[in-house]
A and B are shown apart, each in its own frame.
Chain A
Amino acid sequence: MIWLIARREIVTRARTKPFQILTALMFVGVIVVAVLISVFSGDGDGVEEVTIGVEGAGVDYEEVLAVGSATLDAEVVVTTGDGRTLLDDGELDVLFDGSTVIWEGFPDSTLDTYVRSTIQQTEFARRASELGLSDSDLGTLFSEIEIGEERLDGDDDEVGVRIAAAMVSTIATFVMLQVWGSFLMMGVVEEKASRVVEILLSHISPRTLLTGKIIGLGVLAFIQLSIVVLGLALGLSLVRDIEIPDGVWTLVPLLLVTFLLGYAFYAALFAAVGSTVSRQEDAQTAQLPAIMPMMVGYAIALGSISNPDTLLVKIASYVPFTSPVVLPFRVAMSNPPWWQVGVALLILAISVPIMLHVAGAIYRTALLRTGTRIPLIEAFRNRSQAQL
């Protein structure tokens, strides 16, 4: 019976425009995001073509400057007094007159570094040969000195990747929980508003009905999530050099677990809220009690990006109303000890059956009461009057 109900939820919801549009948008969205990230993270295979002007007597840097680098394809023009004019006209990107690097406006950092270091190295080589040093001496002198790095606040690489991962996790979890919670609620309200629930309840118990609906939409949400992950993988494979730090990939299984637990927790709450209204028009205002705690978690997470180690974030990562959103954020930002993650997940897992129980009582009590909206507390208090 549960599977029968779940299957109807999957089939009917999958046929709706909002689901199809949302899934398509998310699929395309992650691909676009992956491509954009690689474009903006720069170094790809973009080679800059520059024209360097060299001016002044005794200046013989044109050969060394024309060598170029991995990112610069340099062309050197030897000017005779008209260098500044050419620079001003945009014929040159930069002009070197033997002692000064001259720009038309703001210096380009890559080109500036290239010009200066090339000239310095040439000068070093010239001075070295004056001092009678051989090429191998020079090699020894300029061989790379390796200096390690250690950070007391962690052993990890870029903060930027952590922030990006934390934001993506938090926003994705928040949006998914809200969207699927709303879908579930709309289904509950639809059944109540159309009175079809009365026939349903003549065949099955409210518990079976609620369980079937939660499972059905949960399966569909998971399918949607898989499609999105597939899109992300596809997007990342389209762009070549983007490095995802290992720590970020461990977030994926955690996200799946927190989403599933968070979904079960919030779906029950949304169902209870939905059962208290009799018309679709009332649903928007009624869902506030379900959305509020989620919003609080969202605000705590995004508001703590610059300072993720506060007590507030720690508490919010344990409280089941906020932990589905805050825990992935905390893990991405500050890598808490694994046992803390375990405890937070355990609390959430234990809260799911409790929420199902409380929400189920409200659902059973309110489902056949039509008319004005029934306060949640009242519905729970009157649960002894529930049918079945």
Chain B
Amino acid sequence: MSSSGLIIRDLSKRFGDIRAVDGIDLDVPRGGLVGFLGSNGAGKTTTMRSILGIVRPDSGSITWDGALIDDEVRGRVGYMPQERGLYARMPVVDQVRYFGRLAGLDKGAASASADAWIERLGLVERRKDLVQELSGGNQQRVQLAVSLVHDPELLILDEPFAGLDPVAAETMQEIIAERAATGASVLLSSHQLDLVEGLCDHVVIVASGREVASGTPIDLRSASPHREMYIRWVEPIETWSPLAGTLLEFDGISALVQLPAAVDVGAQVAHAVSAGVLATVSVEPPSLANVFAHSVVSEDPLQSAGVPS
């Protein structure tokens, strides 16, 4: 593993008796887009705050390009906290400029960048409005502009999709992907696993402050001991039972079956064909959502039998 980008080793932080983070390792290479998954209270926010220097970890190291992260580097980090925070009574454009200046941009650069992001995020007509006058979705856009105004090398996004409508979530995904494509490292947490699956090239799942699984979304899904087979016939059939595995759903014309990973898929499909003409068939690893639910419950996705939702 190269030493460029963000590397976290053995990070721990206690709050009183609670081990919020308990020995987490995390790598976000330059240009990498890493999804950070876990239930509420799993330690994601504390880890992110540690990177930003808002929380002082008890032990462990956080390095950027091989050197311990310091305030100078933190000036090049963009942060979108889970609890959104803006000055309610400050105009949009002033707010974005202000955070640009706080991040170290000079006056001209902060203004130019603020204007560019305001235009990009479709806020031009609202630029003089106070933040409290904006809709929730537009406030989120301002929040994103605030985290991007200084063109950060590292983006820490805590639940960036929370509260966004599908169109805004789409825009958010585009911008995140574009930032990564231009070389920024992105660490994002989200409960919207379908979005994470499509966006991130690496996923880390944590529970109770510890890592329980990590890998590419495909690897994580493939590592599951199960496959999901979906069948749809052209004509309704009366009853049907699968050759192997468990029938999860059957409604007279389609069926969802959980299969062991190492099963002969051809034989399963042949069995379905014998019941009637097929319209659709697919056999896939379980979704990331399934893998996640499973990991968090068992804390070890590779050893226990999955219970798909």
Contact = CB atoms under 8 A, between A and B. Distances in A.
Given A12-B90, A203-B74, A203-B75, A198 B54 contact: yes
Interface in A352-388: 368, 385-388
Contacts of B99: 199, 203
B102 interface: yes
A201 B71 CA distance: 11
A195 B102 contact: no
B81 A194 contact: no
A189 to B, nearest CB: 12
A371 to B, nearest CB: 12
Contacts of A385: 15
A257 interface: no
B85 A4 contact: no
Contacts of B86: 194, 196
Contacts of A196: 85-87
Contacts of B128: none
A344 B154 CA distance: 52
A197 B79 contact: no
A12 B89 contact: yes
Interface in B178-232: none
A202 B77 contact: yes
Interface in A315-333: none
A365 to B, nearest CB: 11
A190 B131 CA distance: 14
Contacts of A12: 87, 89-90
Interface centre among A8, A203, A385, by most chain B C-beta atoms within 10 angstroms, is A203
A200 B102 CA distance: 8
A74 B54 CA distance: 83
A195 B56 contact: no
B157 to A, nearest CB: 12
B267 interface: no
Contact of A204 (B102, B146, B147): B102
Interface string A250-283: 0000000000000000000000000000000000
Contacts of A190: 87-88
A1 interface: yes
Given A199-B99, A203-B74, A203-B103, A194 B54 contact: no
**Interface size for chain A: under 10, 10 to 19, 20 to 34, or 35 or more residues?**
20 to 34
Contact of A195 (B49, B75, B81, B90): B81
B98 interface: yes
Contacts of A387: 49, 53-56
A195 B53 CA distance: 16
Contacts of B55: 368, 387
B52 interface: yes
Nearest to B16: A385
A174 to B, nearest CB: 28
Given A4-B102, A368-B54, A387-B56, A202 B74 contact: yes
Interface in A180-227: 190-191, 194-205
B101 interface: yes
B84 interface: yes
Contacts of A198: 49, 54, 79, 81, 83, 85
B44 to A, nearest CB: 14
Contacts of B90: 12
Contacts of B83: 195, 198
A63 to B, nearest CB: 76
Contacts of B89: 12
Given A199-B79, A202-B53, A194 B102 contact: no
A4 B101 contact: yes
Nearest to A368: B54
A4 B99 CA distance: 10
Nearest to A386: B56
Contacts of B85: 194-199
A199 B146 contact: yes
A205 B54 CA distance: 9
A203 B102 contact: yes
Contacts of A4: 98, 101-102
A194 B52 contact: no
A386 to B, nearest CB: 8
A106 to B, nearest CB: 60
Interface centre among B15, B56, B71, B87, by most chain A C-beta atoms within 10 angstroms, is B87
Contacts of B56: 386-388
Interface string B53-95: 1111000000000000001001101010101111111100000
A4 B110 CA distance: 13
A189 B1 CA distance: 44
A190 to B, nearest CB: 8
Nearest to A187: B87
Interface in A1-54: 1, 4-5, 8, 12
A105 to B, nearest CB: 62
Interface centre among A1, A8, A199, by most chain B C-beta atoms within 10 angstroms, is A199
A205 B75 CA distance: 12
Nearest to B95: A196
A196 B102 CA distance: 13
Contacts of A199: 79, 81, 85, 99, 146-147
A4 B146 CA distance: 16
B162 to A, nearest CB: 13
B184 to A, nearest CB: 16
Contacts of A386: 56
Contacts of A195: 81, 83-85
B123 to A, nearest CB: 18
A1 B102 contact: yes
A93 B87 CA distance: 70
A332 B51 CA distance: 56
A305 B55 CA distance: 52
A339 B197 CA distance: 74
6 contacts: A12-B89, A194-B87, A202-B52, A202-B74, A203-B102, A387-B54
What are the 8 closest A-B residue pairs judged by CB atoms, nearest first? A195-B85, A196-B85, A195-B83, A202-B52, A202-B79, A198-B81, A203-B102, A201-B54
Given A12-B90, A194-B87, A198-B49, 4 more contacts: A12-B89, A196-B86, A199-B147, A388-B56
Interface of B: 15, 49, 52-56, 71, 74-75, 77, 79, 81, 83-90, 98-99, 101-103, 146-147
